[in-house]
Amino acid sequence: MVEFNHDTANQRCVCKTDKLTTDITIEKEIGGYRFFIIKFEKGVVPQELSGRYSSIQKAQAGVEKYLRNKTQSVSARRKEFGDDYEKRKKARDASKSKSKSSK
């Protein structure tokens, strides 16, 4: 799932997804021309997304297509597993404390 947060005043769009731990930013190209570029918060822009787009909508379509075919990153998967483990641990600890207090 991709969530787009638009900032029309600055002509930017921040894309958040559960497949990556970093945010993807679509913004006006340096120099003020009418083209838009895609930037990653950390790391290098993939070859599929590098280039110039004539509108934010076309850049969003490119990001959606890229993320549709991309597998979940290792760091995002690790974070998801860690969160699931913490939830299971809290549930397990809560059930132990209930059983001890009932004796």
Q: In this model, does residue 103 exceed pLDDT 60?
A: no
Q: What is the pLDDT of residues 73-101, one digit of tens each?
A: 777 778 888 888 888 888 888 777 665 55
Residues 57 and 20 placed together within one structural domain of the fold: yes
Per-residue three-class SS string for 55-79: CHHHHHHHHHHHHHHCCCCHHHHHH
Structural domain for 87, as ranges: 73-103
If phi > 0 it is left, if psi is from -120 to 50 it is alpha, else beta; for residue 78 that is alpha
Entry pTM: 0.69
Number of compact structural domains in the chain: 2
Higher-confidence residue of 84 and 102: namely 84
- Asked whether residue 41 falls in the same domain as residue 85, the answer is no
Tens-digit pLDDT profile for residues 16-65: 988 888 889 999 988 767 899 999 988 889 899 999 999 999 999 999 99
Q: How far apart are CA 97 and CA 94, in angstroms?
A: 5
